[in-house]
């Protein structure tokens, strides 16, 4: 959490400040010679690295750098569904539904004799006006192979940052069957 606050403060300072360009002659030490071309070239300061150099995607800035991405969370969740890992399934949700029949993705949870699940996700879309966004919608396509055949679903999972700020958790979902 401290990392996020420090990062947010750094970004706010970087975004609000507009210092004048440095004087090229002030950046040379006595005895150093710079050509006119060098004097006109922009001088890069290493005091405040750019956000891109920090490796932070503004879309996922609500969690710590290196934290679990929404796509990774959903892949782990689908693997837990396939393996019947109830603790992992419940852990993926911000508020786990007490009954699988009442879950937002009950159609997926209640499939009998599941042999294979495949989840394909598209890039997340912010669903709030906060900066960085605290609610993302991840469009998904799911293919389930069961003893009765193959079933396909499309829809989305909405994710929010975990309380510890190290990753995401599912807030809600909507899945619809897709006809081939």
Buried b or exposed e, range 53-86, using 16+ CB within 10 angstroms: eeeeeeebbbbbeebbbbbebbebbbebbeeeee
- Other C-beta atoms lying within 10 Å of the C-beta of residue 155: 20
> What does the mean pLDDT of the chain come to?
78
User: Against a cut of 0.75, is the pTM above it?
Assistant: no
Q: 93: which DSSP letter?
A: B
For residues 69 and 35, which has the higher predicted lDDT (pLDDT)?
Answer: 69
Per mean pLDDT, which range of 3-12, 108-117, 119-128, 156-165 is the poorest?
A: 3-12
For 112-144, how does the pLDDT look when each residue is reduced to its tens digit (9 = 90+)?
A: 999 999 999 999 999 999 889 999 999 999 999
Domain 70-178 architecture: Roll (3.10)
Task: Determine the number of helices (DSSP H) and then strands (DSSP E) in the chain.
Answer: 6, 5
Element (H, E) at 86: helix 86-91
What is the DSSP secondary-structure string of 115-146?
A: EEEEEEEPPPEE-SS-SS-S-EEEEEEEEEEE
Please state whether beta strands 168-178 and 114-121 pair in parallel, antiparallel, or not at all (unpaired).
unpaired
Would you list the domain boundaries of the chain?
2-56, 70-178
**Least confident residue range of 10-14, 94-98, 106-110, 152-156:** 10-14
Cis peptide upstream of residue 145 (ω within 30 degrees of 0): no
């Amino acid at each position: 959490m401290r990392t996020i606050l420090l990062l947010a403060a750094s970004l706010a300072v970087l975004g609000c400040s507009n210092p004048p360009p440095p004087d090229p002659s002030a950046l040379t030490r006595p005895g150093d010679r710079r050509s006119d071309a060098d004097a006109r070239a922009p001088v890069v300061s290493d005091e405040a690295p750019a956000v891109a150099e920090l490796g932070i995607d503004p879309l996922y800035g609500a969690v710590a750098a290196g934290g679990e991405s929404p796509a990774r969370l959903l892949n782990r969740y689908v693997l837990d569904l396939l393996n019947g890992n109830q603790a992992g399934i419940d852990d993926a949700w911000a508020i786990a539904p007490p009954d699988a029949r009442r879950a937002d993705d009950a159609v997926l949870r209640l499939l009998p004799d599941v042999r294979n699940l495949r989840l394909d996700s598209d890039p997340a879309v912010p669903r709030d006006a906060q900066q960085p966004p605290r609610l993302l919608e991840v469009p998904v396509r799911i293919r389930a192979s069961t003893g009765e055949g193959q079933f396909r679903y499309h829809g989305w999972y909405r994710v929010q940052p975990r309380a510890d700020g190290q990753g995401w958790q599912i807030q809600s979902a909507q899945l619809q069957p897709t006809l081939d």
